[in-house]
């Protein structure tokens, strides 16, 4: 028999999701929440939404809270999404950063993909950067890739993608940074090469919690994540991200996520690209 999610419980779950990860579930998301909850009830053997709510909020089973939040987040991503960002990175941002560092005798390059989903964004960043360094061995390049969802992070760490996911990657990058192979069902798959995997650290992080690292980062990609947050949460997050940038560092947000109306210290560079002052 289909269960009905009472309005009171919908409000409780929505408030919980908002407190935990800043995502607002509006009334229109009730069917989605209910579908995701049904999956968690089946997985845990808990028989009612009310009992499930008490189960995750009582603290008796912290991993289940993570599974619940995993089931709520939307993870759509693909290689070189919003390609203008990668063009800007390769042609403007990176040459400027490399030039400044070289003049100062520094070789530390740090990038952060905040809300990395299944890994296409940080692997794309790694390919873009590595293929534009004259001598990669000269540089201490690290990419931090974080997400709230352990489910997507597992996929990202494995770094194995179906053929249709990699087909839009420029052939010279695909040949240089992926190993083609077949899986057990005889389907073609592509695994990210070890030299790319080695420069990326995947970690679970809720962007609205404390950050267990200091940075600073030359570029932060936080794209298509804030779209789910309300203005107050967005403003707090943008200010925190800004404080994790190097002087002259860049913040990239999704093209549908304008920072207009938010108070922050960054300078607008071009659509969805902002820079910290020197
Ligand atoms: C739509 S995907 C975007 C992926 C990638 N940045 C892109 O633009 O293609 C949004 C990601 O943000 C993550 N996310 C949502 N809320 C989060 C939070 N509070 N902290 C960290 N990650 C979050 C989701 O799990 C999801 O993987």
Whether pLDDT at 13 is above 90: yes
Q: Kindly report the average pLDDT of the chain as a whole number.
A: 93
Would you say the CB of residue 12 lies under 6 angstroms from ligand 1?
A: no
Q: Of 70, 147, 218, 223, which is the active-site residue?
A: 147
Q: Which pTM value belongs to this model? A: 0.90
Q: Is 51 considered catalytic here?
A: no
Is residue 249 within 8 A of residue 276, CB to CB? The reply is yes
Number of residues that make up the chain:
278
* 95 secondary structure, DSSP code: H
CATH 3.40.50.150 at 83-275, yes or no: yes
If one counts every other C-beta atom within 10 angstroms of the C-beta of residue 126, the result is: 26
Q: Rounded to whole angstroms, how far apart are CA atoms 165 and 180?
A: 13
Would you say the CB of residue 83 lies under 6 angstroms from ligand 1?
A: no
In this chain, the answer to whether the domains covering 7-72 and 83-275 adopt an identical fold is no
Considering only CA atoms, which of 164, 96, 83, 92 is closest in space to residue 127?
A: 83
Compute the half-sphere exposure of residue 145: CA atoms within 13 Å on the CB side of its CA: 29
CATH class of the domain whose range is 7-72: mainly alpha
* pLDDT tens-place string over residues 18-41: 888 778 888 888 998 999 999 999
Q: What percent of the chain has pLDDT over 90?
A: 79
**How much distance in Å is there from the Cα of 226 to the middle of ligand 1?**
8
Q: Is 36 considered catalytic here?
A: yes
Domain range annotation of the chain: 7-72, 83-275
How far does Cα 61 stand from its chain's mean position? Answer: 25
Whether pLDDT at 1 is above 50: no
Residue 222 CA: which ligand 1 atom is closest?
A: 6
């Amino acid at each position: 028999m289909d269960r009905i999610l009472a309005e009171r419980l919908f409000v409780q779950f929505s408030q919980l999701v908002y407190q935990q990860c800043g995502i607002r579930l509006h009334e229109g998301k009730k069917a989605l929440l209910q579908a995701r909850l049904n999956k968690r009830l089946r997985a845990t053997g808990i028989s009612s939404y009310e009992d499930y709510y008490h189960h995750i909020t009582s603290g008796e089973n912290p991993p289940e809270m993570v599974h619940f939040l995993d089931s709520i987040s939307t993870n759509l991503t693909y290689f070189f999404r919003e390609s203008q960002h990668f063009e800007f990175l390769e042609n403007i941002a990176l040459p400027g950063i490399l030039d400044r560092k070289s003049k100062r005798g520094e070789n530390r390059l740090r990038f952060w993909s905040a809300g990395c989903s299944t890994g296409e964004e940080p692997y794309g960043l790694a390919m873009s950067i590595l293929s534009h360094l004259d001598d990669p061995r000269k540089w201490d390049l690290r990419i931090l890739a974080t997400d709230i969802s352990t489910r997507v992070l597992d996929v990202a760490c494995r770094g194995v993608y179906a053929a249709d996911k990699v087909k839009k990657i420029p052939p010279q990058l695909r040949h240089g940074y992926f190993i083609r192979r077949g899986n057990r069902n005889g389907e073609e798959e592509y695994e990210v090469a070890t030299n790319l995997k080695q420069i990326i650290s995947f970690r679970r992080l809720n962007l609205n919690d404390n950050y267990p690292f200091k940075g600073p980062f030359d570029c932060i990609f936080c794209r298509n994540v804030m779209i789910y947050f309300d203005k107050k949460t967005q403003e707090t997050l943008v200010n925190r991200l800004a404080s994790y940038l190097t002087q002259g560092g860049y913040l990239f947000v999704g093209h549908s996520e304008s920072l207009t109306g938010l108070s922050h210290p960054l300078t607008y560079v071009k659509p969805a690209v902002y820079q910290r002052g020197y």
